[in-house]
Structure 1
Amino acid sequence: MHIRTGLLMCLAAGVTVYGAAAGYQVVREIQIGGEGGWDYVLADAATHRLYVSHATKIVVAETETGAIVGEIPDTPGVHGFAIAPELGRGFTSNGRANSSTIVDLKTLSVLGTVPTGANPDSIRYLPDRKEVWTFNHTGGSVTVFDAMSGKVITTIEVGGTLEEAVEDATASRVYVNVEDKGAIAVIDTKTHGVVANWPVAGCEGPTALAFDAAHHLLLTACDGRMVAVDSKSGSVVTSFPIAGGVDGNGFDPATGLAFASSGTGVLTIAHEDAPDRFTVVETVKTQPSGRTMYLDPVTHRVYVPVATTTRPPNGGRAQVTPGTMKVLVVAPG
């Protein structure tokens, strides 16, 4: 942990550390229930739908009412979901099945299944290329397939354990965190080739990744710090403290706020005062286990999945108490 004890105490208490508060608070809880864990969530402001990965299925909820409107079953170890609104299609990353399921967004019916590399984690739809990319966590590769036909176009060998990824369509680049190497890999979306691997100084175990397109900044969530990296050169620009155990982050270009969600039960919010300076303005108490999140740039809401968990007596991964999973909706007051 590269963070002072005093700051950790403030973060855990859910209090403002310094600066002007942004006024975010938990305004709603969307009950998911069921059994098993989760990873990514995705909100679609246009359709008011929330897609929640949950063990072997995607649970679909209505963002305004919290009502469950459907499920996408048979997605073992599902990590994430990507949507192609103009195609009316959605895509899952099934970690235990080494596959991606293609579904109709209106009916949630299955249209097909695509084989991927080992343990697909993050998944992205590239609208400019009509391609879907799965970032295979243990496979160290990226599976690229056509969003309409489902045909695999290529497999990009990156190496390492791959985590979250973002796209800069204007530069024809995709950036992905390589967790075990403390680095960001850069891929050309036209040639499907790896063009750079940037070690991120002071970054241990990068997981979540967000993008400030206006200032060409990659915001990578490390253990205890968020590091801003120049997306053109790979150089570290600045960093700021966050809680440990972060596995989800986001950047809101309209407000200049960066968010990082921690499994310790803290959502850290920082303001981009300048491209080379971020100030933590607020911390919001969520719930232990809330390590991932999704920022909706349209509504400015943050969705944080949580549940009651217990540690086995002999250690190991925390177990989710059945029926307790929910999604916290965090919004400006």
Structure 2
Amino acid sequence: MRNRFGGFALCLLAAASMGAPVALTAQANYQVIDQWKIGGDGGWDYLLADGPANRLYITHGQKVDAVDTTSGKVVGSITGLHGTHGVALNPDGKLGYISDGGGNAVVVFDRSNLSTVATIAVGTNPDAIIYEPVTKAVWAFNGRSKDASVIDAATNKVVATIALPGKPEFAQVDGQGNLYDNIEDKNVVVKLDAKAKSLVATWPITCDSPSGLAIDTDAHRLFSVCDGKKMAVTDYTSGKQIATATIGDGPDAAGYNAKAKLAFASCGEGVLSVVNAADSSYPTVQTVPTQKRARTMTYDATSDRIYTVTAQFGQAPPATADNPRPRPPVVPGTFTVIVLGRK
């Protein structure tokens, strides 16, 4: 994905200033309820909650950490990787899949003992990864080769490669055999047919550099988070953008609570934006302080908890001609999971 721990402008979107109804603000009422210091070195990308198993998978540099969500402790790691981006899970409860961007591969692992089962060559820099349940396939969206690799989960073989119109970001499935993906450099959302293994629609959205994507399969909506403090809401039956919500600055991930009809955006400037998707005006009803650079998140519907990650940073090195925008280094041992919930 993009620079997950970048961005510096403050998000100052208090729910009161948005005119949110008091009752709904109380209904949202998310707050930080815990923090788990994981430690370790290097950057990170996406994380994924496995609610029924009480486990959280976090892509963390050249490994994936598995965290027990009842204790907040790391129970093991999948290692030997080259630069991880995302995790997908097979509903069989046995296997998981990692997009190893630095290795141009998808790594299959055994969830019972975190051992590597297979390494599958895909496109260049696989980023977003998701399991499609109708066709029982894993889709890896390759950021540099601008295509998607389709892997048969029964054989762990690539069965198709689908060209995309630009750089893919996060993806979602609707459970009916369709996938949706943000194309970051074109400001569009694409629809893909899993059975036909083909691109079937390209929908422009008024939203710059869409990255994180959440889905509401009941009302057939997609929530794309973008630069410029925006969240685009798209009807995926028509392909039309139906609304634009105002969120925090520097978002990179999204989530959706189907029961409460709330959409989330994790913002790098240190807030979680909570949007009321039951209201046609899509107001932001909460702006919850988290921590700077906490840009990626996952929502666990089983526990109604949100997990995001960040760390402390040192001083950035001087800019050079080869590296005009150097990143500040992560302070070793400060990598932390922030847990949000409703008390």
> TM-score if structure 1 supplies the norm length?
0.93
- Given that 2:49 and 2:298 are in contact with CA atoms closer than 8 Å, whether structure 1 keeps it comes out as yes
Say which SS state the counterpart of residue 125 (structure 1) adopts. Answer: strand
Alignment RMSD (CA, Å)? 1.5
Equivalent AA in structure 1 for residue 256 of structure 2: F
Matches within 5 A, 1:119-268: 119-170=125-176, 172-201=177-206, 203-223=207-227, 224-268=229-273
Percent identical across equivalent pairs? 38
What is the aligned residue count? Answer: 322
Partner of 1:301: 305
**Hey, what's the Cα distance between the residues in 1 that align with 2:270 and 2:11?**
12
- Given that 2:15 and 2:285 are in contact with CA atoms closer than 8 Å, whether structure 1 keeps it comes out as no
**Hey, what's the Cα distance between the residues in 2 that align with 1:329 and 1:87?**
24
Give structure 1 stretches of 5+ with no counterpart.
1-6
Q: Give 4+ residue runs of structure 1 displaced > 4 Å after superposition.
A: none
Q: CA deviation at 1:234?
A: 1.3
Equivalent AA in structure 1 for residue 214 of structure 2: A
Say which SS state the counterpart of residue 155 (structure 2) adopts. Answer: coil
Q: 1:16 to 1:44 in 2, by over 3 A?
A: farther
Say which SS state the counterpart of residue 12 (structure 2) adopts. Answer: helix
Q: CA deviation at 1:15?
A: 6.4
Partner of 2:46: 40
Say which SS state the counterpart of residue 81 (structure 1) adopts. Answer: strand
Q: CA deviation at 1:305?
A: 0.6
Q: CA deviation at 1:159?
A: 2.9
**Hey, what's the Cα distance between the residues in 2 that align with 1:158 and 1:195?**
11
**Hey, what's the Cα distance between the residues in 1 that align with 2:11 and 2:335?**
26
**Hey, what's the Cα distance between the residues in 2 that align with 1:107 and 1:303?**
23
- Given that 2:15 and 2:284 are in contact with CA atoms closer than 8 Å, whether structure 1 keeps it comes out as no
Q: CA deviation at 1:130?
A: 1.3
**Hey, what's the Cα distance between the residues in 2 that align with 1:328 and 1:149?**
37
- Given that 1:230 and 1:236 are in contact with CA atoms closer than 8 Å, whether structure 2 keeps it comes out as yes
- What do residues 274-296 of structure 1 show as CA deviations (whole Å, max 9, x unaligned)? 4x331111111000010110011
Partner of 2:5: none
Partner of 2:290: 286
**Hey, what's the Cα distance between the residues in 1 that align with 2:307 and 2:277?**
21
Equivalent AA in structure 1 for residue 230 of structure 2: R
Q: 1:9 to 1:105 in 2, by over 3 A?
A: closer
- Given that 2:10 and 2:269 are in contact with CA atoms closer than 8 Å, whether structure 1 keeps it comes out as no
**Hey, what's the Cα distance between the residues in 2 that align with 1:152 and 1:35?**
32
- Given that 1:17 and 1:282 are in contact with CA atoms closer than 8 Å, whether structure 2 keeps it comes out as no
**Hey, what's the Cα distance between the residues in 1 that align with 2:278 and 2:134?**
31
Worse-superposed segment, 260-269 or 20-29:
20-29
**Hey, what's the Cα distance between the residues in 2 that align with 1:9 and 1:93?**
30
**Hey, what's the Cα distance between the residues in 1 that align with 2:125 and 2:307?**
24
